[in-house]
Structure 1
Amino acid sequence: MTTTRDQAVWNRLHDATNSGDAELIAKTIDEVVDPDLIFHAPVPTGAAGAQALKHVWATLLRAFPDIHVTVDDVISEGDKVVCRNTVTGTHQGEYLGLPPTGRSVTYNEIFILRFADGRIAEIWGVVDLATQLRQLGLLRMP
């Protein structure tokens, strides 16, 4: 039963992030993410907990206003939900110090979310940042 509930919570957050609405994303994070979230992913901010996740989404929306996350796979077991995603967007705002390039990006990510009491309590994330940076012209391959 909790696996179904946790997956529904994940789906709610995913739907909010694909809305492109920063206020809806922040509100949904407040509702479904533990304020003391443990975030095991590189977050370029001094924020922690749910505030770090809000900062990540605010940054992504400024840089890629048309960002879209397609869920390729979801696996739920016990208190965890694992999702493999494909992310697309157009670089239309400052990102990592790079002014807008108008370039499109497509990259992959995998997240593991641990739930406690119906809320996301912990996140591990692996984002293919090298592909994203290469597509933006910030990283060159030999």
Structure 2
Amino acid sequence: MVSSEKRMVAERWFAEYFTKGDLSVLEELTTEDFVYHSRNGENSREQMKGFMKWYRQVFHDDEWTLDDVIEQDSKLVVRYTGWMTYKGGWFNIPAEDQRVKETGMILFTFTDGKVSEMWCENSDAAILYELGALAKNTHEVF
């Protein structure tokens, strides 16, 4: 069973941080020494705020679904699906108000009720494909 407190953090992460771009919610949901582990290294809370400023300029009209939520000890895993409208500003891809879909999984680690670490794997390559940045029929899709 998933604790209501951890589930609420995940719901607020998508509803307030992503959909609204509310940067103050990071102060409430994460520890001071929060770390987001990405393929480019470790990112702080301040770096996550910078990312969100960029993201809110590039994507609008977000809708998120938490498909699966699994809790074990201090960890919460969320498999999610999101839809958003691309407004331009990513790799010089022209803006056509195109609706795109993202899927992914986030692993939150909690310390004293707040997120202290996070990992995320998502479908950025699929979004680039949908936006026409990757040529069609150049790779197999499984």
**TM-score grouping bracket, smaller chain normalisation:** 0.7 to 0.9
TM-score (norm 2): 0.83
Larger radius of gyration: 2
How far the C-alpha of 1:58 sits from its partner, in A, is 2.1
- TM-score, length basis structure 1: 0.83
| Structure 1 alignment gaps of length 5 or more | none
Contact preservation (8 Å) 2:37, 2:43: no
Identical residues among aligned pairs (%):
24
Q: Can you list the C-alpha shifts for 1:18-58, whole angstroms capped at 9, x where unaligned?
A: 5x433xx2011111112322211246xx9931112222222
Alignment: residue pair count: 136
Q: Is 1:51 aligned with 2:50? A: no
Name the Cα RMSD after superposition.
2.2
- What is the Cα deviation at residue 125 of structure 1? 0.7
1:28 paired residue number: 25
Match of 2:61 among 62, 66, 76: 66
Partner of 2:7: 7
Distance 2:92 2:38 in 1: 20
Tell me whether 28-37 or 82-91 shows the greater mean CA deviation: 28-37
Identify the residue that residue 106 of structure 1 maps to in structure 2.
Answer: 101
Task: Give the secondary-structure state (helix, strand or coil) at the position aligned to 1:97.
Answer: coil
> Any stretches of 5+ residues in structure 2 without a counterpart?
none
1:98 partner SS: coil
2: distance between equivalents of 1:21 and 1:107?
Answer: 17
Aligned pair in 2 of structure 1 residues 134, 9: CA closer, same or farther (>3 Å)?
same
**What CA deviation, in whole Å up to 9, does each residue of 1:48-104 have, x standing for no partner?**
311122222222221111122211111111101100111111111312333423221
Bigger mean CA offset, 124-133 vs 46-55: 46-55
Moved more, 59-68 or 129-138: 59-68
CA distance in structure 1 between the aligned counterparts of 2:46 and 2:75, rounded to whole angstroms: 21
Q: Is the 8 Å Cα contact of residues 10 and 78 (structure 2) preserved in structure 1?
A: no
Letter matched to residue 20 of structure 2? D
Structure in which a larger fraction of residues adopt helix: 1
| Runs (4+) off by over 3 Å | none
